[in-house]
Structure 1
């Protein structure tokens, strides 16, 4: 089914549910749900393609996509059909038994990546936990390192569990959660000299580096693409010293950059990498993938009750196959270029406020001048009033991560809303 005809598919509801609209209460919600999010004053009720509607019936163009998660947009007919059929067959059993569709999904991922084996879990944080555990066991059992260290980057983001917030090189996520997990050391991103210095210093202190964990493009850290020469030199260092290279593909994987995996933009292959978010198109699933030489997990080492159950694997497989069948990587490249050029044109009108537009495919960021009082949240709120949903990536970067099915007219519509929103935010 083409991108253009998706919005007119008959299986997608056309009207808001008046019962849901009348029942929703922000006050009741806040009384019942832990306040772990600073929520925008917006309650979303339904979606179709690249659009969503709130409980008052207002339409928005969704350039958040569940934070780079809704690969095929909302209510995609392939996903609707897969969900319906799989729920009528079998939705959950246990990994005590073989799950055929889990094996099919693993095979697809292996055939479309450098991986040899896959472990399925429920989220990006869990996928990164699995990668950390795998690296530590490899360090102990293969490398003979008693106190292994994993290098990660400043401004990185790897999840919200205790180990992954420790791996995350942003103190704001770690505050008040001491004591943090030992065994991590931070270096500046895209700085090869810092990597080399850290390895030498840790070696001198008899703390051996077992792995380097990086994002091919830093998402939460401001949409900062990795430098090709930097990553290629890291790959060389890892090969020479027997260090594992782990790439966090949670936000950039599954076609978001115009390639299936972010590492393909860098001309290297990781030893271990992780996926989640876009893998299931919005259905919770994560994966830790690795090459055979570092696949040291044995029965009892790692597990997940819900990981890789028939329901999530069926949906994820349908997402993967649709990416390929509908040639969506080409759409990502074309719409990403259209979006970046449009944002750069807008930026030229506000040189005192916007310093840079950058990104790959359909993960892009617009950085604001450090001296301007304008914040990313200001622009997000102003664009929301114009019917466009965006998300910050830090205080000074606005992030653009629409569904991979977004059309050229929708990108044009978004650019017009951004122009109006910025003008309104500046006043």
Structure 2
């Protein structure tokens, strides 16, 4: 029998090196705490990159997984299933949308949204209306199409010619957008809060201006809510606070609390352009993932859950303020709900990875959003005592970085 004992070193031996994971190996989690293979515990401020919105091993989700897992996991797209129909019905009742398409990830949801936009424009206006407008520092996924639409060239360089007809504009620059959106524009895709790009909220006037320009020129407005959606912003979806309705919305990450699922939501009129066979997926909308996601949306959409997000957001920002009073390392704290970014001062420019690594060494799982921003995306129901403990540990981690700098 082969030796199947594994460690962090095994990653370097057998995994394609597109990631550089931490030195410790997480083993199990409960709520907002994670334990590694050595039994050491960590406070989780990352949520699996804004994914585990209800924490680890949530009892209601475990029950759904067991019940549906004992019935039907997968059936294929030649058939429908009750869990996916319930999930679609719940999402359309809670949002502007009439129709849902389910995939396996945020990238696939965005791929579907971008394909739909081009198909709608082709059917209505012909092949010349194919231009897609996106924004610098945006992130929309890792498929070749979505990574090309994303506004971070480092992710698309070295893979050959990118698809034609993609324009990148400065984020929150309404004048530039109004000038660029025209008769050839088929879609504008935007994150209500840029996550990977530094946790930068869109100005409400910017989003409204995009809506108006799209209306004027017959283009679709796509909101990428892969990271902001499912309660992360303090609303079920961030567009609901902004008061700007998109034509298409994409959602994933927290939708399955870690089970891979994504969705594209849109209207009856637009969905009609995706006729049978025009787009598809093998695993998307499988009954196991849909059942779990349906329970997630049921719990998160409860007003008490969303109110709790706003309360925890204030507590988290207060903790960051206290840290900054001690250390003076943050230039700005921004974001909404439990998607918060703390930008480092010029003295620590480019050092976010150092703080992230030190946090892990002191028992905190953290995120960054570029070289200058620490990102916080914990569970939406994180116990306040865990938050307090996490910031106590993070304070020690910051001290260790500052001490090493001297």
Normalised TM-score (structure 2): 0.95
Root-mean-square deviation (Å): 1.5
- For the 8 Å contact 1:280–1:312, the answer to whether it is kept is yes
- For the 8 Å contact 2:109–2:264, the answer to whether it is kept is yes
Match of 2:286 in 1: 309
CA shift in 2, pair 1:198/1:350, >3 Å: farther
1:329 and 2:311 aligned: no
Match of 2:173 in 1: 191
1:264 and 2:218 aligned: no
**Aligned-pair distance for 1:371?**
4.2
Match of 1:164 in 2: 146
CA distance in 1, matches of 2:302, 2:198: 32
Q: 1:138-187 deviations in whole A, cap 9, x for unaligned?
A: 01001334251010000000000000110110011112112111121000
Which shows bigger deviation, 236-245 or 180-189?
236-245
Q: What SS does the aligned partner of 2:181 have? A: helix
CA distance in 2, matches of 1:409, 1:321: 25
- For the 8 Å contact 2:145–2:163, the answer to whether it is kept is yes
- For the 8 Å contact 1:122–1:284, the answer to whether it is kept is yes
- For the 8 Å contact 1:347–1:355, the answer to whether it is kept is no
**Aligned-pair distance for 1:33?**
1.2
CA distance in 2, matches of 1:181, 1:370: 37
- For the 8 Å contact 1:226–1:266, the answer to whether it is kept is no
Q: What SS does the aligned partner of 1:327 have? A: helix
Q: What SS does the aligned partner of 2:346 have? A: coil
CA distance in 2, matches of 1:418, 1:150: 41
Which shows bigger deviation, 51-60 or 262-271?
262-271
Q: What SS does the aligned partner of 2:223 have? A: strand
**Aligned-pair distance for 1:83?**
0.8
Structure 2 gaps of 5+ residues are: none
1:246 and 2:228 aligned: no
Which shows bigger deviation, 177-186 or 305-314?
177-186
Residue-pair matches, total: 399
1:400 counterpart (376, 384, 391): 376
**Aligned-pair distance for 1:325?**
4.7
Runs of 4+ that moved beyond 4 A = none
Match of 2:323 in 1: 346
CA distance in 2, matches of 1:84, 1:375: 43
- For the 8 Å contact 2:103–2:281, the answer to whether it is kept is yes
CA shift in 2, pair 1:83/1:326, >3 Å: farther
- For the 8 Å contact 1:285–1:307, the answer to whether it is kept is yes
- For the 8 Å contact 2:261–2:285, the answer to whether it is kept is yes
**Aligned-pair distance for 1:347?**
2.1
Once the two structures are superposed, the pairs formed by residues 16-415 of structure 1 within 5 Å of their partners are 23-199=5-181, 208-295=184-271, 296-325=273-302, 327-351=304-328, 353-372=329-348, 375-415=351-391
